[in-house]
């Protein structure tokens, strides 16, 4: 039995060279490693080695491999954010202005006039996340990033965590409402322009986060030609599956006991309003005839 198990592991290592580890986004395996492809090929290899006579008679094109991820645990530690390799704590970025509302009050009389300046406008805080290096499951990702402290403290509507669900760009938006209700005094023979101005922060952050995989993978093999009937069930630890890969280290995996460790890297783009102000400008007007 032990000799058979050793042969099984050796065959998996040999055949693992053929695994296609690139995601369907077109990114190379150095960018995103497709865990679904790894598990699928592992399950096919296990089936080929362990199948009985009845299972061997089933045409390969009729075999369906269904991966159950529910027993796989994915834990992500706190991310490290930086700007071009510099820690965010030592950097500052300037704010940009956005005019939400503008109103002009013209007083052609000989005395001061009062006008009401009242409005309510909305802006959207947004964060866009793109993964540059890590693992995916087909086109899906399962990643949660803790929002940077300085952005969370700005009360811009962001949650404590940013969820990343798929490869490509993931954008989350939150609506913020700004309002003003004040009186504008316009001197005689003057024109006053009142503006509601929002100061917006735009941040681009690179991040790196350590993620840990543990638990088991269960793959059910069914026969599509026989009403999708169950053929067999294949089960294994994720650590053993990754450990069997001959290019495990080059793909970015580190296996420690029953835990698989990998580093996810990417970029976050934040845009959010942090402050509002009312800007008043006065201009002289000609005396009416």
Summarised one tens digit per residue, pLDDT across range 190-211 is 999 999 999 999 989 999 999 9
Question: And the tokens for 9?
Answer: 């592991």
DSSP state of 207: E
- Could you tell me the CA-to-CA distances from 143 to 68, 75, 100, 211, 228 in Å, in that order? 18, 9, 35, 9, 33
Q: Are the C-beta atoms of residues 260 and 271 closer than 8 Å to each other?
A: no
Among 198, 214, 201, 224, residue whose Cα is nearest residue 253: 214
Work out the pLDDT band at 156, boundaries 50, 70, 90.
confident
Is residue 13 scored above 70 in pLDDT?
no
Question: Residue 26, Cβ neighbours under 10 Å: how many?
Answer: 9
- Secondary structure E strands in the chain: 32-34, 63-68, 72-76, 80-83, 86-87, 95-107, 113-136, 140-146, 161-166, 169-186, 190-223, 229-237, 254-256, 259-284
Claim: this prediction has a pTM higher than 0.85 = no
Q: What is the pLDDT of the chain when averaged over all its residues?
A: 87
What is the C-alpha to C-alpha distance for residues 85 and 199, in angstroms, rounded to an integer?
27
Rounded to whole angstroms, how far apart are CA atoms 15 and 41? 9
| Sign of the C-alpha dihedral computed for residues 30, 267, 23 and 239 taken in this order | positive
Pairing of strands 190-223, 63-68: antiparallel
How does pLDDT run across 58-114, given as a tens digit for each residue? Answer: 999 999 999 999 999 999 999 999 986 555 554 556 688 999 999 999 999 999 999
Greater confidence (278 vs 31) lies with 278
Instruction: Write down the residue that tokens 């005094």 correspond to.
Output: 185
Any idea what DSSP says for residue 137? B
């Amino acid at each position: 039995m032990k000799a058979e198990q050793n042969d099984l592991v050796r065959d998996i290592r040999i055949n693992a060279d053929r695994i296609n580890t690139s995601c369907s986004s077109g990114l190379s395996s150095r960018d995103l490693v497709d865990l679904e492809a790894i598990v699928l090929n592992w399950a096919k290899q296990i089936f080929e080695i362990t199948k009985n006579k009845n299972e061997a008679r089933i045409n390969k094109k009729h075999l369906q491999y269904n991966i159950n991820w529910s027993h796989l645990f994915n834990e992500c530690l706190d991310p490290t954010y930086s700007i071009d390799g510099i820690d965010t704590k030592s950097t500052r970025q300037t704010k940009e202005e956005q005019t939400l509302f503008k109103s002009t009050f013209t007083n052609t009389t000989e005395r001061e006039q009062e006008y009401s300046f009242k409005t309510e406008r909305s802006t959207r805080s947004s964060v866009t996340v793109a993964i540059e290096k890590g693992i995916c499951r087909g086109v899906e990702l399962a990643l949660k990033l803790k929002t940077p402290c300085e952005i969370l403290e700005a009360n811009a509507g962001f949650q404590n965590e940013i969820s990343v669900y798929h490869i490509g760009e993931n954008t989350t938006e939150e609506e913020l409402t700004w309002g003003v209700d004040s009186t504008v005094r316009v001197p005689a023979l003057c024109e006053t322009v009142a503006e509601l101005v929002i100061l917006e922060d735009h941040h681009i952050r690179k991040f790196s986060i350590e993620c840990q995989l543990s638990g088991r993978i269960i793959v059910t093999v069914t026969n599509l030609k026989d009403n999708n009937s169950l053929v067999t069930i294949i089960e294994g630890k994720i650590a053993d599956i990754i450990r069997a890969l001959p290019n495990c280290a080059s793909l970015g995996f580190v296996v420690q006991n029953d835990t698989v460790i990998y580093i996810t890297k990417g970029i976050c783009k934040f845009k959010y309003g942090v402050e509002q102000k009312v800007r008043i400008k006065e201009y002289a007007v000609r005396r009416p005839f």
